[in-house]
Amino acid sequence: MIEIRTLTLGMVDTNCYIVADTETGEALVIDPVDEADTIYTTAQDAGWSIRLILATHAHFDHIIASKALKEKTSAAFVIHQEAAPMLAALPEQGLRFFGTRFPDAAQPDQLLGNSRETITLGSISLETLYTPGHAPGHVSYFMAAQKTVFCGDCLFNGGIGRTDLPGGSYQTLMHSIFDVLLPLGDDVIALSGHGKPTTLGRERKTNSFLVNYQP
């Protein structure tokens, strides 16, 4: 059985997801957003061992806890190759947005490419989807058997990712949404980097950013 825990943490209420195979007790984290101790303790209290840490992209609010969590768990850290420069610049992101340096990010153990890959841990199977536009090297993770996609800051409940930060592109983002995410199916649950869960069908029908989009 697969269980998903959602933790909303950090300075801008970012969602961190712990996905566990409850039979083996192995778990992975999608977006080590902040408060490594909270993430680690939540998994430990459930009887889970964190074996993998995945990032959707390298904006500060999704990776601040990456190094500390990796040190606590010895889990491999995975991110897209195009996100690596921003990952390395995490301390400078702190200076830019808050006037104080953030801690260094974890060193990645695996860099994803643009083609679809499968990441497995016990009975957990995630397909990597290249969904840039909000940030360089943005990746969504699709758990097909559970009809769930972890879409980071690509698509939200009633919104879309901002594109005014370095490396952002509105047209690229809309391509990611319309050509990569929405074809997964209307009944697929979308778990985003911020806000509440939704479904791709709900967003396709009611999200004003999508309904009013003119290619």
Total domains in the fold of the chain? 1
pTM assigned to the model? 0.96
Write down the pLDDT at residue 97: 76
Tokens linked to 185: 């199916």
| Separation between Cα atoms, residue 112 and residue 104, nearest integer Å | 20
- Quote the DSSP letter at residue 164: -
Output the CA angle 141-95-136, nearest 5 degrees: 30
Query: Which CATH number is 71's domain given?
Result: 3.60.15.10
**Contact between residue 63 and residue 80 where contact means Cβ atoms under 8 Å apart:** no
What's the domain range around 82?
2-211
22-67 per-position pLDDT tens digit:
999 999 999 999 999 999 999 999 999 999 999 999 999 999 999 9
